[in-house]
Each structure stands twice: as C-alpha cells, then as structure tokens.
Amino acid sequence: MEQQTEISQLGEFGLIDRITKDLPKVNASTIKSVGDDAAVLEYPDSEVLVSTDMLIEGIHFDLTYMPLKHLGYKSAVVNFSDIYAMNGTPRQITVSLGVSARFTVEHIEALYAGIRLACEIYGVDLVGGDTTASRSGLVISITCIGDAAKGTVVGRDGAKDTDLICVSGDLGSAYMGLQLLEREKVASAGQKDFVPKFEGKEYLVERQLKPEARKDIVAKLKEEGIQPTSMIDVSDGLSSELLHICKASHTGCRIYEDRIPIDYQTAVMAEELGMNLVTAALNGGEDYELLFTVPLHFHEKMEKMEGVKVIGHITKEDLGCAMITRDGNEIPLKAQGFNHLS
C-alpha cells in the first residue's frame, strides 16, 4: 500500500504548495493565479458570470463508492455546467476544502488530480481557494468564473409562448446510476472480497460518478446561429428545472412523455428495481444536461441537431405546466427533485 502522509506534516501552506504546483494558465483573462493574496482577472469586453456550489460528504457524495479523483472531476464539472447553462464559457475556478483528520495528503492529491483533469479538458484555470480543518468529513466549495459576449447571456426568464422546449442527451441515467451504486453498497456489507455487479450498466455508473458539462451543445447552437431564449442545466430533475423556467418567464408548458429521451440501460435498471421510468427521468437529477427553449421557427434545425431532442413547447401562463402522457392525458408537473434542505 502506498505510504500515506498526514496533512499535519506539511501544514496548510505546504499542502497548498504541493497540490497547486506548476498550475498552467490557459485563459488570457487570468492575469495572476495562485500564490498571492488574491487572483487577478481581466474581462474588458464581456459580461462576467459567477457560480458557486458546495458539496458535503454524506449529503452530496458517499466515499464508499465515489473515488476521490472522480469526486474532484465531478465537483469541477458541475460548476462548469452552470456557466454553460448561461450560454457562457467557464474560465477560472477557486477551490475551498474542509478536511477532517482521516484524510491524508495523498487523498487530497487524488481529489486535486480530478479537479485538474477537468480544468485541462474544459480549458479552465484554477486560480485560488482555501483549505481548513473540518469536523464533519470532507467539504468542497468551488466558485466558477466565466464570461459571455455582451448581449448573449441566457437566463431562465426569457421563454415565450410557442417556444420549443429542448433537452440534450438523455435523462434519468445518473439517478439510476446512484440506485445501482447504493444497491451494491448494501450488498457489499460485511463481505471482504465483494465484486459489484455493474456489467451491462457501466453507462449508468459513469453518469453518476463522472458527469460531463454540455460544452458541445452550446458550441453547436452558436454554430447554427441559435441563441436560446432561456436555459438551465438539469441538476435537480427535468420537472423542477422546467418549472424554474416557467416561473421566471411567467409562462406555462406542455411536454410529451413519449419524447423524453431515455437510455436503454436506464430503462433496464428501472425495470429491475420496479421503479417508474418516466418518474426517474422527470425527477432524478444530476444528469447535467441542458434544458432550453428556442423560437418556433428553429424547429427544423432543432429536429436535425444531433444530441438534442424537442420535447414540448411553452404555453401561456394560465394554461399551467403539464406533461401529456402516451395515452393523451395531462398530468401536472411537480417539483419533486432532490431537496438538500428537506
């Protein structure tokens, strides 16, 4: 087993030096990075976007089945996703950690290896942060700074009656990945050489442990000259996110059950667990796909766009928000995604 180094041997500043050594700068907006009292950034001709997420052990992640490198990668990517959901580009992040005594230097290096890999893949600079002691396991707080050309930022409040409702990728797979991981965790209790059963469901595990932000979809929309009227990333479930858009835009909506994109492995897992497949897709969360609206005249372009599905349309506010089932019934949409404070 690799020798483990207690964090107290290095101290706070020694640890920071070790995990931030040789950080590259890839964005022109990064003037000064780690190593001073504050980072220095410059955005002369664009609008600046800032987003923060906090992840707490035992609430947002379980280290029984979440490798630290994957956790670092996911922690960064979910922040990038928030910037892409505003039609922007992530440029810098700061990372703050609360670390309990059971974590070693090598543990933190593994976490940072994932963060740095995400930064490398998405072209983001790690420019600062903080590290402190924690009495409740591991706490990760990441702030992401991004930018967008003036006039191109997309919020949740611009959807209009007759706009098309579109979503990237597929839904419910990350939630089913979580159910699979939790099932195997229970099955492994008390067994020394337990081997989890992931065969044929590797996609679900990857969607939960190593999600990706949809940088590609934002790029495709720009290539086609399409600026969404509203956009949000699917972190708490399709139903909750769509209700956020409709509330902010003062509209209603209709989506169609048979148009919700669902992966085959998700369907198989739902059947195994006796769960309602559409409920998982509507309320599962953590897919980090993009949900957005575009004007009706883009219908042909959207139908042809790879990786995107038109699932419904925006209506007037007094018509409310509902899903049309396969047999033609209307079911009101409810915000039933995961609530961290409930």
Please write the tens of the pLDDT for every residue from 242-254.
999 999 999 999 9
For residue 16, tell me if it sits in a domain: yes
> Residue 269 has what pLDDT?
95
**Least confidently predicted of 29-33, 153-157, 258-262, 282-286:** 29-33
pTM over 0.85: yes
The reply to whether 81 and 207 lie within a common domain is: no
First-last CA distance in the chain = 40
Q: Identify which of 205, 211, 201 has the alpha carbon closest to the alpha carbon of residue 234.
A: 211
Kindly state whether residue 181 falls inside one of the protein's structural domains. Answer: yes
Q: Is residue 340 part of a domain?
A: no
Question: What value does the mean pLDDT take over residues 15-32?
Answer: 76
Say yes or no: 17 and 141 in one domain: yes
Look at 38-52, 54-68, 137-151, 202-216 and tell me which has the smallest mean pLDDT.
Answer: 38-52
Average pLDDT over residues 287-314: 98
Q: Who has greater pLDDT, 82 or 23?
A: 82
CA–CA separation, 280 and 278 (whole Å): 5
Same domain for 180 and 85, yes or no, is no
Same-domain status, 77 and 172: no
**Domain final residue pick, 149, 182, 214:** 149
**Which of 23-32, 142-151, 236-245 shows the lowest per-residue confidence on average (mean pLDDT)?**
23-32
Q: Among the three residues 149, 182, 211, which one is the final residue of a domain in this structure?
A: 149
The pLDDT, as a whole number, for residue 342 is 47
Does 170 score more than 80 pLDDT?
A: yes
- Residue 174: is its pLDDT beyond 60? yes
3-state helix, strand, coil in the chain (%, to 5): 35, 25, 35
> Is residue 122 domain-shared with residue 234, that is, in the same domain?
no
Same domain, 318 and 196: yes
In a shared domain, residues 138 and 21: yes
- Count other C-beta atoms under 10 Å from residue 264's C-beta: 11
Same domain, 175 and 293: yes
How many structural domains does the chain have? 2
What are the start-end ranges of the H helices in the chain? 7-19, 68-84, 105-122, 173-188, 202-209, 215-223, 238-249, 264-273, 277-283, 299-304
pLDDT at residue 302 is higher than 90: yes
Helices 68-84 and 105-122: crossing angle, nearest 10°? 30
Looking at the fold, whether 19 and 119 belong to one and the same domain comes out as yes
**CATH code for the domain of 139:** 3.30.1330.10
Can you give the CATH number for the domain in which 214 is found? Answer: 3.90.650.10
Range of the structural domain that residue 95 is part of: 7-149
Residues 277/330, Cβ–Cβ less than 8 Å: no
Q: In what order do the strands lie in the sheet with 321-324?
A: 230-233, 290-294, 164-168, 308-316, 251-256, 321-324, 330-332
Angle between helices 105-122 and 7-19 (to 10 degrees): 10
Q: What gap in Å lies between CA 27 and CA 4, rounded to an integer? A: 35
Residues 45, 69: one domain? yes
Is the pLDDT at 172 greater than 80, yes or no? yes
Tokens of 59: 């609430």
Please tell me the distance from the alpha carbon of residue 269 to that of residue 288, in angstroms, as a whole number.
20
136 in a structural domain: yes
Do 124 and 235 lie in one domain? The reply is no
pLDDT on residue 36: 64
- Report the share of the chain in percent with pLDDT over 90: 78
Whether residue 342 lies inside any domain: the answer is no
Decide if pLDDT at 23 tops 70: no
pLDDT at 341 over 50: no
Tell whether 155 is covered by a domain: no
Whether the CB-CB separation of 194 and 187 falls below 8 Å is answered with yes
**Above 60 in pLDDT, residue 282?**
yes
Q: 64 pLDDT band (50/70/90 cuts)? A: very high
Within this chain, do residues 314 and 180 fall inside the same structural domain, yes or no? yes
Instruction: Please report whether residue 273 resides in a domain.
Output: yes
